Structure 1
Amino acid sequence: MATTNRAAGAKTTLQKASQAVGAVFLLVGVLGFIPGITSNYEALSFAGHGSGALLLGIFQVSVLHNIVHLLFGVAGILMSRTHGQARSYLLYGGVIYLVLWLYGLITGHDTPVNFVPVNTADNWLHFILGIGMIALAIMLSRNTRTTRTATR
């Protein structure tokens, strides 16, 4: 049985993965608010399918969408503190992203139900993220070895 309490500075590969995924979500959330990286920035709305802003010119975003990325990123970083929480973040976060993928497939892109908003590129990214996060949770939870981080 894997222990959930680790020595200070010791992290499992699973915890590092959770921290990295969280950092990427945090970065994406910030980038969604930067004109130039987000094209049509002037069309960024708080929520809804009418937001015309595109992160990297591909992924439809809104203020709400960016805030969700920021919160999801903070959750990943905070939950990387313990092995069990890191596993839960990756596993259940992956499930959430698969549900978002289904939501995006079922709802029309130009309907009021698409409040997040999502487009086709978002849908497939959500699918890849969901599968990837679940795979990380399953594969890395078997490896409970810790590594020491350098301290000064």
Structure 2
Amino acid sequence: MAKVYAQVSAVVFLIVGVVGFLTPSLGPLKFSALHNIVHLVIGAWGVHAGFMGGQPKQFAQVIGVVYTLVGLLGLVAPSMLGGIGGVYVLIHLVFGVWGLYAGFFVKEGS
């Protein structure tokens, strides 16, 4: 499960990072250069973890913790993170909780 999480995350984050440089917004989503770079770095780490044998469980754990915290902060104190809310909170919580599950609760080889 952690390997699949890393692979899916890699593809999604790389696409979002590239699209963010091509267009400053996509529907309700707004992209900044820093945000795009963060997505590309996470995507590259996901490629390493998911496709090149580089510790997918650790990737899922770290991204799961960070994205869950960002999502929760977006719920309780959105101004701390530049005013994120709505769809941003949902996206961060989905990737965060899925990462926590894949990284901490699914046994290796499952």
Q: TM-score, normalised by structure 2?
A: 0.79
Instruction: Please list every run of at least 4 consecutive aligned residues from structure 1 whose deviation after the TM superposition is greater than 6 angstroms.
Output: none
Pairs aligned (count): 108
What does the per-residue CA deviation read over 1:35-81, in whole Å, with 9 as the maximum and x for residues that have no partner?
3xxxxx3xxxxxxxxxxxx3x31223211111111111011111233
Higher strand share: 1
**2:81 alignment partner in structure 1:** 114
> Which of residues 83, 89, 101 is equivalent to 1:123?
89
Tell me whether 1:82 sits opposite 2:53 in the alignment.
Answer: yes
1:59-106 Cα distance to aligned partner (Å, 9 max, x none)? 2321111111111101111123336x1101012211100111122223
Deviating more after overlay: 124-133 vs 16-25: 16-25
| Aligned pairs (5 A) from 1:1-152 | 14-35=2-23, 41=24, 54=25, 56-80=26-50, 81-82=52-53, 85-109=55-79, 113-115=80-82, 118-137=84-103, 138-139=105-106, 141-143=107-109
SS of equivalent residue, structure 1 residue 33: helix
| Partners of 2:75 and 2:85 within 8 A in 1 | no
The root-mean-square deviation of aligned C-alpha atoms, in Å, is 2.2
Unaligned runs of 5+ in 2: none
Identity %: 28
> Partners of 2:69 and 2:48 in 1: how far apart?
23
